[in-house]
Amino acid sequence: MPTQIADVGADALRQAKSNLDSDYIPSEDEPFMNERQQEYFRGLLLAWKKSILSEAESTLAHLQDGPLREPDLADRASSETDWAIELRTRDRQRKLIAKIDAAIRRIDEGEYGYCAVTGEPISLARLQARPIATMTLEAQERHERNERISRED
């Protein structure tokens, strides 16, 4: 199950990509963040959010159907652990939905696809892999290095 927690949203993103209506894929050969690219990423983000919400609804239904108390202590501990993992996963997905909403706002404001630190365009490959990215790969790596250094102090 820990793999499941690490992949929060990854399956939903894959599903969202497969559910997009268009065969269009943004290309480096066209102007960066033109209207078509913006609409593509908006559709991807909305489909991703819908997929996450659908997953959450099915989990909630499953948790409500299952018994809260098992007669056997080992079964009860196992059920409670599974439930705690699911709730933690849902909390991470809730945070992911907030990031998706923020990305959609950035599209509306014309800021989507540009690094929050440098102002440079974020590569289309990075946006395809992580549509909620707010920094270029280089800026993200620098940020993570600085976090590691400050934690070690």
Q: What is the pLDDT of residues 19-66, one digit of tens each?
A: 776 789 999 999 999 999 999 999 999 999 999 998 877 766 666 666
Q: Is residue 87 assigned to a domain?
A: yes
pTM score, whole prediction:
0.79
Residue span of the structural domain in which 109 resides: 7-150
**For residue range 108-146, what is the model confidence (pLDDT) as tens digits?**
999 999 999 999 999 999 999 999 999 999 999 999 999
Q: Is residue 1 assigned to a domain?
A: no
Q: Minimal CA–CA distance to 12: which of 39, 44, 36, 60?
A: 44
Our count of domains for the chain comes to 1
Count CB neighbours of 28 within 10 A. Answer: 8
Q: Is residue 31 assigned to a domain?
A: yes
Q: Is residue 2 assigned to a domain?
A: no
